Amino acid sequence: MANKGPSYGLSRQVQDKIDSKYDMELEQVLVEWISRQCGAEVGKPEPGKMGFQAWLKDGCVLSQLINSLFPGDKPVKKIQSSTMAFKQMEQISQFLSAAEKYGVTKTDMFQTVDLWECKDLAAVQRTLSALGSLAVTKEEGTYKGDPSWFFKKAQENKREFSDDQLKAGKNVIGLQMGSNKGASQEGMSYGRPRQIL
Mean pLDDT across 76-92 = 81
Q: Is the pLDDT reported for residue 182 higher than 70?
A: no
Mean pLDDT across 123-134 = 85
What is the structure's pLDDT at 174? 67
Rounded to two decimals, the pTM is 0.69
Cα distances (angstroms) measured from residue 197 to each of 52, 108, 189, 194: 85, 71, 22, 10
pLDDT band at 1 (very low <50, low <70, confident <90, very high): very low
Mean pLDDT across 54-67 = 83
DSSP 3: T
Mean pLDDT across 175-184 = 64
What percentage of the chain has pLDDT greater than the value 70?
86
What is the structure's pLDDT at 175? 63
Q: Is the pLDDT reported for residue 2 higher than 60?
A: no
Average pLDDT of the chain is 78
CATH superfamily, with its number, for domain 9-145: Calponin-like domain (1.10.418.10)
Cα distances (angstroms) measured from residue 14 to each of 3, 22, 39, 113: 19, 14, 37, 16
Distance CA 88, CA 117 (A): 11
Q: Is the pLDDT reported for residue 4 higher than 70?
A: no
What percentage of the chain has pLDDT greater than the value 90?
0
Q: Is the pLDDT reported for residue 119 higher than 70?
A: yes
What is the structure's pLDDT at 178? 64
In degrees rounded to 5, what are phi and psi of residue 15?
A: -65, -40
Mean pLDDT across 145-158 = 74
DSSP 110: P
What is the structure's pLDDT at 92? 86
Domain ranges of the chain: 9-145
Mean pLDDT across 111-122 = 82
What is the structure's pLDDT at 160? 87
Q: CB burial class (10 A; 0-12, 13-18, 19+) of residue 191?
A: exposed
